[in-house]
């Protein structure tokens, strides 16, 4: 590297470190800082994560739902933050709903060419083929059978044992293991058996958690800084490299064993589906290329494991409200329901929606317009500029959800005739909206309901007093210290 090149890297790096030190020196957070919007105040708060999400919500409410964040001039961290449903509706129905932009692909490089970070024609092929997979009869059957057998064979015995021995368990860890096992069976045909009484170390799960945290921090740093950290292997970027190596070796083993099996197997999972995908229909997919299969399936696996386990954890934490649990139980007693078709459980659906409104598993969404535009709020955005929609803040806006926005009230989802109330996705953006709506929404809701029904019918949880419940800085809303509970059997 030339001297100029070296200085080009080091100067921003040193300035950024100084900048970060100034955040860390501040010990406590005050109210939202709005006066003059000094970037240091804004960014200092951004690193005090446990409070930052609430703080971002307060700033949105105080600024008519939209504000501009100015980072240091060299850092490329300027952002427009908006949770204005008019802006969201405009962005999701216009061209930049489809494309995520080149910056996103750089930040999510660990997912390679998977659907989450792909754009343009490749995304179109992945989206159409993914849609066909998620609607394939065999795949649908496998999603129900794998969830149901994991419940009966692993989760129930695990909770029985915890109840019998009166031990404290971390419910978040339990749900992550449960979802990892079911997602892995669905996507790769391999059951890692991570949910068992022995609670084995889950290398893949730890790698995914680190990668999600590193990606979160990449959104706050200049690209040049995190790339340099990755290159020399320091801080969270070192863990990102380890995560990448774990993903690669796990997938290398799975793909090579699937390649040895017969073509077009009777049981379809994402690996076998993409290995045999019809390239006359989806011209840009590469069934013979192992890296491509790794990218596509890894994205699906991560999308399925972490979001659903986060949603379940916050749901059970909020369901400590005894009146909510009583109503859910009452509905189960009064309703005839098919365990594989849980649509009739309206109150349960309402309670799940309500917990995801307050604790969305994906708390941020990033957009980047392909050409300059003026948003309905009057804010001008340049081509390739960065827009952040804080879904966590959106769910808490009094001007959007009413004065009781911060209360957990499943009843708000129930219409006068007793059915479910529909809320537009510009207001309830938990599963995204428009062309890039979550492909796994129905699968996630089905799995969450199957787990909730089984657990609520059989067990009571008591949340351990005095534990700190706070989110970890990550692209997924996980609890930093987990959720400690004790279990007792109620039948
Ligand atoms: C409660 C559970 C879930 C929530 C809240 C959720 C939420 C989301 C959100 C917000 C996005 C948009 C992300 C972005 O554009 O940056 C998304 C995309 C996606 N989700 Fe989910 N998700 C959940 C479960 C699942 C499951 C179980 C799967 C299946 C494996 C899945 C598969 C996907 C895929 C493939 C995309 C990419 C869609 C595209 O870009 O075209 N999700 N999800």
- Ligand 1 geometric centre to CA of 308 (Å): 10
**Can you give the pLDDT at residue 9?**
37
Taking only the tens place, the pLDDT of each residue in 366-424 is: 888 888 999 999 999 998 888 999 999 999 999 999 999 999 999 999 999 999 999 99
The encoded tokens of residue 196 equal 């068992």
Q: What is the average pLDDT across 46-59? A: 79
Q: Is the pLDDT of residue 6 over 60?
A: no
What confidence score (pLDDT) does residue 35 get? Answer: 34
Q: Is the pLDDT of residue 264 over 80?
A: no
Residue 174, ligand 1, Cβ within 6 A: no
**Higher-pLDDT residue of 185, 5:** 185
Q: What are 177-205's pLDDT values in tens digits?
A: 999 999 999 999 999 999 988 899 999 99
Q: Is the CB of residue 365 below 6 angstroms from any atom belonging to ligand 1?
A: yes
Report the pLDDT value the prediction gives residue 62, as an integer from 0 to 100: 95
Handedness of CA 280, 258, 179, 490 (dihedral sign): positive
The pLDDT confidence band at residue 4, using thresholds 50, 70 and 90, is: very low
Domain that holds residue 124: 23-489
| Domain count for the chain | 1
The verdict on residue 166 lying in a domain is yes
State how far the Cα of 46 lies from the Cα of 170, in Å rounded to an integer. Answer: 28
In short, whether 357's Cβ falls inside 6 Å of ligand 1 is: no
Q: What's the confidence (pLDDT) of residue 338? A: 77
Tokens of 291: 């890296």
Least confident of 51-55, 235-239, 481-485: 51-55
Within-domain flag for 4 = no
Whether 17 maps to a domain, the answer reads no
Atom of ligand 1 nearest to the CA of 301: 30
DSSP 94: S
Query: What CA–CA distance (Å, rounded) separates 359 from 356?
Result: 5
Residue 23: its pLDDT value, please?
36
Average pLDDT over the chain, rounded to whole? 87
Q: What is the dihedral of CA 116, 432, 106, 99, to 10 degrees?
A: 90
Best residue among 113, 132, 303, 443 to mutate for probing ligand 1, ranked by most atoms within 8 Å of CB: 303
Kindly give the number of the ligand 1 atom that is closest to the alpha carbon of 100. Answer: 15
Say if residue 313's pLDDT is above 80: yes
pLDDT digits (tens, 9 = 90+) for 469-478: 999 989 999 9
Q: Is residue 467 part of a domain?
A: yes
User: How close is the Cα of 116 to the center of ligand 1, in Å?
Assistant: 8
pLDDT on residue 96? 61
Residue 6 domain-assigned? no
Q: Over 80: is that where the pLDDT of 460 sits?
A: yes
Q: What is the CATH number of the domain that holds 28?
A: 1.10.630.10
Residue nearest to atom 17 of ligand 1 (CA): 438
Confidence at 265, pLDDT banded by 50, 70, 90? low
Task: Give residue 75's pLDDT.
Answer: 67
* Mean pLDDT value of segment 423-448: 95
Rounded CA separation 428/174 (Å)? 27
Q: Residues comprising the binding site?
A: 438
Return the best residue to mutate from 100, 361, 440, 477 for the ligand 1 pocket (most ligand atoms within 8 A of CB). Answer: 440
- Indicate the SS3 state at residue 401: helix
CB 388 near ligand 1, within 6 Å: no
Distance of CA 429 from the midpoint of ligand 1 (Å): 11
The answer as to whether 12 is a domain residue is no
Residue 335 counted as domain residue: yes
Domain annotation covers residue 413: yes
């Amino acid at each position: 590297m030339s001297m100029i090149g070296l200085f080009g890297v080091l100067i921003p790096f040193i300035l950024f470190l100084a900048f970060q030190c100034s955040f860390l020196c501040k010990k406590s957070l005050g109210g939202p800082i709005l006066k003059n919007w000094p970037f240091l105040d804004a960014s200092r708060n951004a690193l005090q994560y446990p409070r930052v999400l609430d703080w971002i919500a307060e700033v949105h409410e105080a600024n008519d739902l939209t504000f501009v964040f100015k980072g240091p001039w060299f850092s490329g961290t300027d952002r427009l933050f908006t949770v204005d449903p008019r802006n969201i509706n405009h962005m999701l129905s216009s061209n930049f709903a489809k494309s995520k932009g080149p910056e996103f692909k750089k930040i999510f490089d660990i997912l390679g060419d998977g659907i989450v970070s792909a754009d343009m024609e490749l995304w179109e092929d992945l989206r159409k083929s993914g849609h066909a997979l998620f609607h394939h009869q065999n795949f649908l059957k496998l999603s129900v059978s794998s969830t149901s057998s994991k419940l009966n064979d692993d989760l129930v015995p695990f909770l029985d044992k915890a109840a019998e021995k009166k031990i404290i368990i971390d419910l978040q860890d339990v749900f992550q293991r449960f979802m990892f096992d079911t997602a892995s069976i669905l996507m790769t045909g391999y059951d890692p058996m991570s949910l068992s009484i022995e609670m084995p170390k889950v290398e893949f799960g730890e790698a995914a958690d680190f990668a999600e945290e590193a990606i979160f921090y990449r959104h706050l740093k200049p690209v040049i800084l995190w790339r340099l950290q990755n290159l020399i292997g320091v801080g969270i970027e070192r863990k990102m490299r380890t995560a990448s190596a774990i993903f690669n070796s796990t997938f290398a083993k799975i793909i090579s064993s699937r390649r040895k099996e017969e073509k077009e197997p009777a049981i379809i999972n994402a690996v076998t589906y993409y290995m045999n995908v019809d390239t006359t229909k989806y011209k840009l997919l590469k069934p013979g290329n192992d890296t491509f299969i790794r990218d596509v399936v890894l994205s699906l696996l991560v999308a399925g494991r972490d979001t659903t386990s986060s949603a379940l954890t916050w749901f059970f934490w909020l369901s400590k409200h005894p009146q909510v649990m009583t109503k859910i139980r009452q509905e189960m007693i009064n309703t005839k329901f098919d365990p594989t078709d849980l649509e009739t459980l309206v109150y349960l659906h309402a309670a799940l929606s309500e917990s995801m409104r307050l604790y969305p598993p994906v708390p941020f969404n990033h957009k980047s317009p392909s050409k300059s535009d003026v948003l309905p709020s009057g804010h001008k955005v340049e081509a390739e500029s960065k827009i952040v929609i804080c879904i966590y803040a959106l769910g808490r806006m009094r001007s959007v959800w009413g004065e009781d926005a911060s209360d957990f009230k499943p009843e708000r989802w129930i219409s006068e005739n007793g059915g479910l109330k529909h809320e537009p996705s510009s207001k309830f953006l938990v599963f995204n909206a428009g062309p890039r709506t979550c492909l796994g929404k129905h699968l996630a809701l089905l799995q969450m309901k199957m787990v909730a029904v089984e657990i609520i019918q059989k067990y009571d949880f008591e949340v351990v007093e005095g534990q700190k419940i706070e989110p970890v800085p990550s692209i997924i809303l996980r609890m930093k210290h987990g959720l400690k509970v004790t279990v007792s059997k109620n039948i």
